[in-house]
Amino acid sequence: MSTQHKQNISLDFQSHIADLEKRGLLVRIDEPINKDTELHPLVRCQFVGGVPEQDRRAFLFTNVFDSTGKKYDIPVVVGALAATPDIYAIGMGCTVEDISATWVKAIANPIPPIEVESGRCQEVVITGKELTQPGGGLARLPVPVSTPGFDAAPTLTATLCITKDPENGIANMSTNRAALKSTNRLGVRMSSRIGGSGGYQHWLKYQKMGKPMPCAIVVGCAPVVCYNGPQRLPVDFDEMTVAGALAGQPIELVKAKTVDLMVPANAEIVIEGLISTELLEPEGPFGESTGYVALEDYNLSMEVTAITHRKSPVFASIISQVTPSESSVMRKVALEPLFLTHLRQIGISGIRKVVMHEVLSNLRPLIFLQFANNVPRTEVWRGLQAASSRIADCGKIVIAVSEDVDPTNTNAVFWSMAYRSNPIEDVQVIPFRSPGHGPSSDRKSGGATDPRTANSTLLIDATLKHIMPPIALPAKPYMERAHELWTKLKLPPISFQAPWYGYALGDWRDSWETFAQNAASGNWEANGTNTLARRRGGLKPETAVRSVEK
């Protein structure tokens, strides 16, 4: 990592919050706010209220109470991790444009963590009877209800669930929701689908051993550590080593108090416990990141053995559910570089970008691939197939476009599909796909997967396959001049989306370029003189000139 990157990065969550406030990216709310009915809906307003992405903010609530009237002395922050890509980039210590390259470099150059004797995350330690007394334990934490009207419980969302492989000792971090069940019990959802949570793979091993699984749930720590939760690295790849690479230095870890795990020493809050491998507990409903409410499922049951935290912690929560959301921003900037690196590593030539559609799709099912022009169609299909199979819940629909099409502009992708693909030749439907992560709707089987209704994959090659006429917009110099005039006239602010100027796509003759230059310079009569000399009879209107003039 560069020296500048190391200097700009914050390894303390509260310092990160202070930095956001200093930059005008955080709104402090001192008014009384009900965590069960008002807190998440208030922050949600900026995601569904038409607020431009760059104007979204993190929110710090300093006066939190619940529906019973109980007040909390711990403030709650929402949006501080990824309300916008800009906020995410600040946490990474880089620019938005460098996020992808920073991830790729960090994954390739891991830095192992170091153990320290003590950490601020253990300035306060709660164990024993303090966990079970009325209003104690988990009830001391201002955990919001994420989807009031549908959720069954206040739920931890901005989590790092740390587990350890009992066979090789390698730790895993993943972001999993955890619903409050009692003052000392949580219902934890770790995805059991193919390509799901690494913690679940550890749980299976503990189950074979007949032992409960130790787990530490971290709430609030250095952003470069938090951001590893949604990453999809191999199960035996310790994400803490990638966090160290992002930080440019080893992450300090301290031994948990009651379980055999290492946790970030400067975290805000750590919840330690044992997850049963014998009994599952009903969990949900909960408004999921798919945009649907996840119905009641049997999930993991965790008995809390300790809660440790800083003397004055901040409780972190994230907005998820229908996208765009904080959850979708975190996944987008984490998974896009992961997929791009994968495609390049397996030798897909000409791949330029990987873009995961965000609005209303939570990135996962819809992926756009951008290829260089003139890439062989075999490479396009290899890329489509590889992207669709990388992670089970990503790439149900994968669309390839050429490099002149901006894959972040959905309208441009649709335009490319309409004019550059022939469905009978450029579409493949692949059956028997893993259902991935989606709403359970099979009432007959209680949500279980029926092989007859297994999901499928749609691949579309919407790349440019031959030369075509230019894009029908004014050429770049004229649009740039128009932008200057627009600004000079103090008209409403505008932001161009590609394509915003015309450009050639191979089917353009020098004579036509001369015509265009003549027209733009006012010399259009010269063009008329040219065409007068080329008049012909005996032809049907709309006959192409070049079919006659060989």
Kindly indicate the confidence band of residue 196, based on its pLDDT and cuts at 50, 70 and 90. Answer: low
Q: What is the pTM of this model?
A: 0.80
> What percent of the chain shows pLDDT beyond 70?
93
Sort 65 into a burial class: Cβ within 10 Å, 0-12 / 13-18 / 19+. Answer: middle
pLDDT, tens only, 45-54: 888 787 888 8
Q: How far is CA 49 from CA 37, 55, 85, in A?
A: 18, 12, 18
DSSP 415-475: HHHHHH--HHHHEEEEEEE---S-----TTTTTPPPGGG-EEEEEEE-S--S-BPPPSS-B
Cβ-proximal residues to 174 (8 Å cutoff; 6+ apart), any chain: 160, 161, 190, 197, 198, 199, 229
Higher pLDDT, 392 or 528: 528
Number of helices (H) and strands (E), helices first, in the chain? 16, 26
Higher pLDDT, 5 or 495: 495
Cβ-proximal residues to 356 (8 Å cutoff; 6+ apart), any chain: 331, 332, 335, 336, 339, 363, 364, 366, 367, 368, 394
pLDDT surpasses 50 at 2: no
Of the candidates 376, 363, 385, which has an alpha carbon nearest to the alpha carbon of residue 458?
385
What confidence score (pLDDT) does residue 440 get? 55
Mean pLDDT of 468-488: 86
Kindly indicate the confidence band of residue 435, based on its pLDDT and cuts at 50, 70 and 90. Answer: low
Q: Which of 384-393, 438-447, 485-494, 531-540 has the lowest mean pLDDT?
A: 438-447
| Residue entry with tokens 């989807």 | 147
In the chain the domains, ranked by start, together with CATH numbers, are 3-317 (2.30.110.10), 346-444+451-461 (3.40.1670.10), 476-548 (no CATH)
pLDDT, tens only, 211-232: 999 999 999 999 999 998 877 7
